[in-house]
Homo-oligomer: A and B are copies of this chain.
Amino acid sequence: MLNFNYSIQTEVFFGKDKIKVLPEQVKRYGNKVLLVYGGGSIKKNGLYDDVVRLLKENDILFWELSGVEPNPRIASVKKGVEICRSHGIELVLAVGGGSAIDCAKVVAAGVGYDGDLWDLVVNPRKIQGVLPIASILTLSATGSEMDPIAVISNLEINQKIGTRHPKMTPKFSILDPTYTFTVPRNQTAAGTVDIMSHVLENYFSPTDSAYLQNVMAEALLKTCIRYGKIVMEEPEHYEARANLMWCSSLAINGLLSLGKLTEWSVHKIEHELSAFYDITHGVGLAILFPVWMDYVLNDQTVEKFASYGINVWGLDDSEDRYEIARGAIEKTRAFFREMEMPATLREVGIDDRQLALMAKQATSDGPLGSLRPLEEGDVLAILKAAL
């Protein structure tokens, strides 16, 4: 196990009706709030009304940044920063999924920055002061509710980049599984794949000595598989929604990644797909992950994929290791199919025209991952195999 520091910055209020803590928690940071949200689903399901009522009843002033895109854009960040500056905002409160939270984070980081806000995405070292951030989560997926990361897109230059800073970790997050009851079927599925992909990026690592982190990763994967299937059938299954929601936070809050090297190579490739074609993150991951697994399977990695097959998918330990490894990849592919995810790039309207450019951009900072480091040519081969 490698050395690490463990520090959890976010206080989580988990469960039905936990929104009642909102006024008290907000007031720890101030009295002027920027609400950040997306396309209005929170207006349909009543959450917006609840939030507004609680704020008004407690004399908390608020302004709104609405219409944040599924892949949040730097243009939205700029709007948010302007509102904060005009009104002396003291807390940025995202109500939504990862998009709203990611946007809120860079808004909070941008208020005290004088230069071009895109700088903060490209170069997180420029992030200094950050306004306090909080979230009310409505989608189990990105884990942004408990992590220091924000992914922002700049469609003008076809870039989608993840930035991170410890101060961008939410101070508190309210996780009420009932808010995810009305998440559409395809977003529920893509969110579940997203959670699993975070676990897998941590799990497939050259650091075998972090055994505890690996078996915990298997625990999260089993949870996603078990409840992913259930929510597709019964969207209002509280137990399933609750387990997926807590998985989304634990998948990326440090628990699984500390003390080991981690991959994040598939995420880096997927960000190119989203940057060029604006597709749903989880969909891109569902297409790419099995292809990546096939590509990196070799004598050095076969044991990891075999362990994955045995411990997560219950495959027979006594079989040939390559047999088990390939079986595990096939199980993964079949599960994503069962979750009604597309399996090829063509199904989401991506052809071969931009593949070379995406491969180049994905590796512009060097090879991806450490399990089998991927050069530009490797990424191109993976993208072609995913067509």
Contacts and interface: CB of A to CB of B under 8 A. Distances in A.
A246 B216 CA distance: 12
A226 B239 contact: no
Interface string A225-260: 011000000000011001100110010000100110
A226 B211 contact: yes
Quickly give the copy total for this chain: 2
Interface in A311-357: none
A223 B210 CA distance: 10
A157 interface: no
B8 A14 contact: no
Contacts of A210: 243
A13 B4 CA distance: 6
Contact of A3 (B4, B15, B219): B15
A295 B40 CA distance: 55
Q: Which of A17, A226, A243 has the most CB of B within 10 A?
A: A243
A52 interface: no
Nearest to A3: B15
A258 B11 CA distance: 13
Contacts of A250: 212
A65 interface: no
Contacts of A259: 14-15, 242, 246
Interface residues of A, number: 40
A58 interface: no
Contacts of A226: 211
A243 B209 CA distance: 8
Contacts of A16: 3
Contact of A7 (B3, B12, B18): B12
A222 interface: yes
A201 interface: no
A1 interface: yes
A218 interface: yes
A247 B14 contact: no
Q: Which 3 A-B pairs have the closest CB atoms?
A: A3-B15, A8-B8, A215-B219
21 contacts: A1-B177, A1-B242, A3-B17, A3-B18, A5-B11, A5-B13, A5-B14, A6-B11, A7-B8, A7-B11, A14-B258, A209-B238, A211-B239, A211-B243, A212-B243, A212-B246, A212-B247, A215-B219, A216-B220, A219-B219, A246-B259
Interface of A: 1-8, 11-18, 177, 209-212, 215-216, 218-220, 222-223, 226-227, 238-239, 242-243, 246-247, 250, 255, 258-259
Given A1-B15, A1-B239, A211-B243, 6 more contacts: A1-B242, A5-B13, A6-B12, A14-B258, A215-B220, A219-B219
